[in-house]
């Protein structure tokens, strides 16, 4: 458990206690302060939970991306091995297209 989560839980509990004490003693200011502390504590805990879930989602997305990239590279290698002449032709066409775009008069 990290420090922010512990602080949020403690603030929420303190807010609940102030709220109860304010209700018992008819102290509106203490009761309002209790509501405030409880809300801030709960907000902090929710923020940490959302941060943890976002980190988990990013880790999962990274792992899926690695798997998809690996499958794509395997497929590309298999196709390149089966059709090497087509690969050379495609690379030559791509190079020619890039050279044409870089030397076109509209870019000057």
User: Per residue in 23-50, pLDDT tens?
Assistant: 777 777 777 887 888 888 888 888 888 9
Bigger pLDDT: 88 or 14?
88
Average pLDDT over residues 56-85: 94
Taking every pair of Cα atoms in the chain, the longest distance, rounded to a whole number of angstroms, is: 88
CA distances from 42 to 15, 34, 55, 98 (A): 10, 12, 20, 56
Neighbours of 30 (CB within 10 A): 18
d(CA 11, CA 30): 14
pLDDT value, residue 108 = 52
pTM: 0.53
Which of 49, 44, 29, 37 is closest to 13 using CA atoms? 37
Looking at per-residue pLDDT, the higher value among 25 and 70 belongs to: 70
Q: What is the DSSP letter of 108?
A: -
Radius of gyration of the chain (CA): 30
As a whole number, the mean pLDDT across the chain is 85
The whole-angstrom separation of Cα 53 and Cα 43 is: 15
**What local confidence, expressed as pLDDT, does residue 107 receive?**
54
pLDDT for 12 equals: 73
Integer CA distances (angstroms), 54 to 7, 8, 49, 50, 65, in order: 21, 19, 9, 6, 16
């Amino acid at each position: 458990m990290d420090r922010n989560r512990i602080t949020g839980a403690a603030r929420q509990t303190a807010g609940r206690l102030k709220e109860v004490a304010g209700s018992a003693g008819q102290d509106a200011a203490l009761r309002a302060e209790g509501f405030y502390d409880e809300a801030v504590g709960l907000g902090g805990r929710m923020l940490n939970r959302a941060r943890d879930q976002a980190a988990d989602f990013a880790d999962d997305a990274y792992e899926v991306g690695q798997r998809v990239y690996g499958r794509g590279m395997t497929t590309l290698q298999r196709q390149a091995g089966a059709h090497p002449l087509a690969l050379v032709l495609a690379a030559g066409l791509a190079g020619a297209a890039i050279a044409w775009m870089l030397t076109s008069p509209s870019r000057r």
